[in-house]
Copies of this chain bind each other. A is one copy, B any other.
Amino acid sequence: MASQFRHHHRVTYSDCTMGNHVYHARYLDILEAARGEFFRAAGVPLASLHEHELFFPVVESHLHHEATARYDDELIIEVVVTELDQQKIAFAYGISNTRNQIILSGLTRHICIGPDGKPKPMPAEFFNQLSLAFTGKPAAPAAPPARTPKSPSFPA
């Protein structure tokens, strides 16, 4: 498992808006699908984390649109982990088309919460597995003590 992941998406009418380009918000949906497959490829599908009452809501997103994507374009979504500890995870993304044109760059930040919406550190088992899969390196031997994320009341 490499520390970078690629996912493909074929643009549908549903993704597009007037003027025949992908509506800006749909890129977040496309990134979500890519991210879910990245977790699966890492051996830790998000659905399996749900069974352990762990969820990773998006707390921040940034999108930079470089060019338009159009109906029927095949998009290549590259995902890389930029930050990972037991409380949070962040991803950077690049989307390009098959003509190597960059469509979008972006990032999302996520915190790890339980079903009550309160921060909940990822168990070491999952953290180690994700560390190895996402970064190509095992988790740091002496993990820092659990810190309170910036948004302790999210989601209220």
Contacts and interface: CB of A to CB of B under 8 A. Distances in A.
Oligomer: number of copies: 4
Nearest to A101: B156
Interface in A47-73: 47, 50, 55, 57-68, 71-72
Interface stretch (A28-36, A80-88, A136-144): A28-36
Contact of A61 (B19, B37, B63, B154): B63
Interface residues of A, number: 47
6 contacts: A19-B20, A46-B72, A62-B62, A62-B63, A67-B153, A67-B154
Interface of A: 10, 12-14, 16-21, 23-26, 28-29, 32-33, 36-37, 45-47, 50, 55, 57-68, 71-72, 101, 115, 117, 151, 153-156
